Amino acid sequence: QVQLQESGPGLVKPSETLSLICSVSGGPISSYYWSWIRQSPGKGLEWIGYMYYSGATDYNPSLKSRVTLSVDTSKNQFSLRLRSVTAADTAVYYCARLRYIVRRFYVDVWGKGTTVTVSS
């Protein structure tokens, strides 16, 4: 059973970079798409982007200028970097395994989520 665990700072200062890591256990990172999704307090889900284990990426256009996703297959981990954060980036961040192919987009495995607060 594949399990995902997010890790990283829970507090980030405005204008700095938010960095999170997702550790994948119980299965390989290869041959799958991996994604980050966030949920602002009291709000719905927002897709941040995905990466393929080979390194190919795609991002939500609304965040594209500030986001970088990367993968480390040797450690079975993938990561998120979000630059120039503001209070609007305060959210629970979920890492997820994505099933993505033509016309098909869904998350079949979710991490437990980690809360990131942007505040000075």
Binding site residues, another protein, CB under 8 A: 35, 37, 43-47, 50, 58, 60-62, 94, 99-100, 103-108, 110-113
Nearest distance in Å: CB 108, another protein:
5
Structure tokens at 51: 């990466």
Residue whose C-alpha is closest to residue 84's, from 35, 1, 34, 12: 12
Residue whose C-alpha is closest to residue 76's, from 108, 11, 31: 31
Nearest distance in Å: CB 7, another protein:
15
CB closer to another protein out of 73 and 110? 110
Nearest distance in Å: CB 110, another protein:
4
Nearest distance in Å: CB 74, another protein:
27
CB closer to another protein out of 52 and 100? 100
Question: What is the dihedral angle through the alpha carbons of 71, 23, 79, 31, rounded to the nearest 10 degrees?
Answer: 30
Count of helices and strands (H, E) across the chain: 0, 11
